[in-house]
Amino acid sequence: MTSRKVVSFENIKVACKNCSLATLCLPMGLTADDVERLDSIIKRGRPYHRGDHLYRGGDKFHSLRVITSGSVKTYSPNEDGGEQVLGFHLPGELIGLDAIQDDSHTCSAIALETTAVCEIPFSQLESLSCIMPSLQHQMYRLLSREIGQETEMLTLLGKKSAEERLATFLLSFSERFKQRGFSASDFFLSMSRHEIGNYLGLAVETVSRLFTRFQDESLLRVERKHVQLLDIPRLYDIVQGSDSAKSTQSRV
């Protein structure tokens, strides 16, 4: 049961061009030559263990990081001891973009499980992008995409019900796992209910109740961190808001 395969860090490809994540994390439209040059500045660090910080708010910024395996939570510690979870990051995703602004990290990043990352020294990336227009273009796009994603999150937090939030959350993971070649309907969430609630602007209890309710409604099966989505179309209906979910059901 618990014999999940442990990632062997000795197998990590040391070149971007051989990396299975390349299509995700590497700017499209780079020539093989470009990739080679980009590759030359990337550093592979030791793996982090669950609970290790990749960086903390206030740390001097020097590198962007691409998750290569495992998962990471970013959060901003707020005045009164609490925190706001800003995101959960899967292999192929880039973090640290918010720190370019003033050369220091504005939020913290912590490994949710054993996690490996590639570090991209930003000053070198910048220099490189000066002489590689396609890289520069991709950097702009990447930063812009980040803005767009946060914008969606604003709508989620500003207008959506608890139900819609959790459905959106689950489908986001579904899509991202699928992109990475994993099952879109059967996966493990590496974060706690508390962290999900914090991220979605909900109380832990609400998240727990929603999981139970979704299960009762045969939308999914859940046992602790293991989630199986049973009715993805209906989850999408829920995301759409209003009561289209139920009407779809009766329309069948």
Contacting positions for a second copy (CB under 8 A):
76, 78-80, 82, 84, 86, 97-102, 106-107, 126-127, 129-130, 133, 136-137, 139-141, 143-148, 150-151, 153-155, 157-159, 198-201, 240-242
Q: Looking at beta carbons only, is 7 or 162 nearer to DNA?
A: 162
Choice from 205, 226, 240, 246 touching DNA (CB under 7 A): 205
Residue 225 makes contact with DNA by CB under 7 A: yes
Q: What is the residue-wise DSSP string for 94-134?
A: EE-GGGTTTTB-SSEEEESSSBEEEEEEHHHHHHHHHH-HH
Residue 199 near residue 193, CB atoms below 8 Å: no
Choice from 134, 136, 208, 248 touching DNA (CB under 7 A): 208
Q: Looking at beta carbons only, is 84 or 179 nearer to a second copy?
A: 84
* Footprint of DNA on 173-202 (CB under 7 A): 192-194, 201-202
137 binds, among DNA, a second copy, none (CB under 5 to 8 A by kind): a second copy
Q: Write the DSSP symbol of residue 14.
A: S
Residue 12 neighbours by CB under 8 Å, 6+ apart:
44, 68, 69, 116
Pair of tokens at residue 97: 């973009």
Residue 246 makes contact with DNA by CB under 7 A: no
Q: What is the residue-wise DSSP string for 73-93?
A: EEEEE-TTS-EEEEEEE-TT-
The one segment of 55-63, 126-134, 176-184, 208-216 that binds DNA by CB under 7 A = 208-216
Min dist CB 137 to a second copy, Å, is: 7
CA dihedral 80, 86, 88, 91 (to 10 degrees): -120
Q: Write the DSSP symbol of residue 48.
A: B
Min dist CB 151 to a second copy, Å, is: 6
d(CA 56, CA 16) in angstroms, rounded, equals 27
Phi, psi of 12 (to 5 degrees): -60, 130
Q: Looking at beta carbons only, is 47 or 241 nearer to a second copy?
A: 241
Residues in the interface with DNA (CB under 7 A) total 21
Residue 211 makes contact with DNA by CB under 7 A: yes
* CA nearest to 22, candidates 96, 118, 111, 129: 118
Q: Looking at beta carbons only, is 15 or 130 nearer to a second copy?
A: 130
List of residues contacting DNA (CB under 7 A): 161-163, 192-194, 201-209, 211-212, 222-225
